[in-house]
Amino acid sequence: MSNNTKEVTIKGLFWNAVDRFGNQFIVTIVGVVTARIIAPEDFGILGVLMIFSTVATSFVDSGLATSLVRSKELNKIDYSTMFVFNLLTSFVIYFILFFCSPMIERLNKIDGLSFYARVMFLQIIVHSFGIVQYVQILKSFQFNITARINILSIFLSGTITILISVFGYGIWALLLQPVFYSFFRTVFLWIWGKWDISLVFSIKSLRKHLKFSILFMFSNMINKILSPLYYSILGTNYPLSTTGFYYQANKWGETPNLLISSIIQGTTLSTLAPIQDDFDRFLNACRKTMATLAFVLFPVSICFIVIAQPGFALFLTETWTPSVIYFQIICFAGIFISLSDLNVSFLNIKGKSTYAFNLEFTKLALAIIILAFTYNKGVLNILYGQLCVRIVCYIIVTFFSEKIYGYNFFKQMKDILSSFCASLVCALLAFIPAYADFNITNSNLLVIQVIIFVSGYCLINHFSRNTIWTELMAIVKTRFNKNRNGID
């Protein structure tokens, strides 16, 4: 990477980290509080509605946001066209879902689901008002503003969610949280954004961006509906409590993977787009990004798997212990989701959204085929099938990456294997206290396991002279020296 690209990337990674970790801290508090108050059946209702909300949001965005971010030259007409198109699309989709809500209720046999759906789906319209503002802030590399907006929005919506749940309106707390979040986020985007509203619409501009975005939209939509698809299958074939247990496992199981990969990918698209035509620089930047992702992703995800049992019992109470094994499988499968998604981001930067669509279509086809054989065989078999799909799709996307920019499976293994092996060794060590005959509380066990894992991972990387670790220590040392000299 050039010095300028590296500087922008580091700045972007820092503010994306502040954004994601700040968000996750608040989400964790809200999630723990609501899980202690609200019944698993209510979470099951939310899970049933997720597939419709997810698909609708993907249609509203239409991939135009990503197309604008990766475009080198834009004008006001491009932004206004996107604004008008997204707004019209959101209203059309909402009214379709509004009139289809009674059918959704009959299909799932849940009283009142139609009204719940109509309220929750208001988020679709609210969300569409802020997409253009978000793109402009992202393209200007103002990652500090996006962090401020997202953290404030999740804090305010989370506070309202907790208050509603405390007053006994459990299901409404869950349904209104995304609506309030979209509302606050949109308001703040308009306050801190610099785009002046315009209703100019250009067919030429729309066609230009749809060439890229239409396939991206479908691939993104397929990617996002897989988890809600499992909610739907569980909701129609298993008790609502089982769907609720799966919802919590999936929510927390995807957290470490989505948190880390979103930090990396949130910076990748805007910083690598300018060098997409320089083959060697682009490949080297991709390899560095992949190695960085693996260095953080593997230890965090595998550590979460290790501490799942004491963590669920301690924070969510024993009520949610059936979710533990689901959580562990989902968390491990999430590693391959993050690796695949980063490859897809690289392909999208190169303008090869066709490959991303092919991958997502393959993923959906495999998931449906495996679900056809496992949907009535128990939740564990469904999840093992899900894990197989994730692994196969990661292998497939590496072939696409090799064809477009030379980043094949073996190069990727070379970049990520050391972090995986180090994490695996630390996991084996951290599991020892859990299976040894020690009479310790869940809180003590969790602390001991985390200490063993983290210290072991740091020591292994230090003595093996891991490249990412060495660079990280150099950055920390430089920052420390600057601060010390400044004080002196």
242 inside domain: no
Q: Is the pLDDT of residue 365 over 80?
A: yes
Where a domain ends, among 186, 211, 226?
226
Query: Is 205 found in the same domain as 279?
Result: no
pTM beyond cutoff 0.85: no
236 inside domain: no
Token duo for residue 402? 């090799």
Query: Is 373 found in the same domain as 329?
Result: yes
Where a domain ends, among 176, 210, 226?
226
Query: Is 136 found in the same domain as 84?
Result: yes
Q: Is the pLDDT of residue 406 over 60?
A: yes
Query: Is 260 found in the same domain as 218?
Result: no
pLDDT digits (tens, 9 = 90+) for 420-470: 999 999 999 999 888 876 678 888 999 999 999 999 999 999 888 888 888
The domain containing residue 432 runs over which residues? Answer: 254-488
244 inside domain: no
Query: Is 166 found in the same domain as 98?
Result: yes
| pLDDT, averaged across the chain | 83
122 inside domain: yes
Residue keyed to tokens 């994306």: 16
- CA dist 175 and 298 (Å) reads 33
Query: Is 137 found in the same domain as 187?
Result: yes
pLDDT digits (tens, 9 = 90+) for 97-129: 999 899 988 888 888 889 999 999 999 899 888
- A 10 A CB-CB count for 326 gives 23
294 inside domain: yes
What percentage of the chain carries pLDDT values higher than 70?
86
Query: Is 300 found in the same domain as 198?
Result: no
Query: Is 315 found in the same domain as 207?
Result: no
Query: Is 271 found in the same domain as 210?
Result: no
What DSSP string runs through 240-273?
HHHHHHHHHHHHHHSHHHHHHHHHHHHHHHHHHG
Query: Is 436 found in the same domain as 298?
Result: yes
Burial 125-134 (b: 16+ CB within 10 A, else e): bbbbbbbbbb
428 inside domain: yes
Looking at residue 27, what is its pLDDT? 84
Say which amino acid occupies 303. Answer: C
Least confident of 199-208, 329-338, 382-391: 199-208
* Direct distance between the N- and C-terminal alpha carbons of the chain, in angstroms, rounded to an integer: 33
Query: Is 155 found in the same domain as 271?
Result: no
Query: Is 168 found in the same domain as 260?
Result: no
Where a domain ends, among 177, 210, 226?
226
131 inside domain: yes
28 inside domain: yes
- What is the domain count for the chain? 2
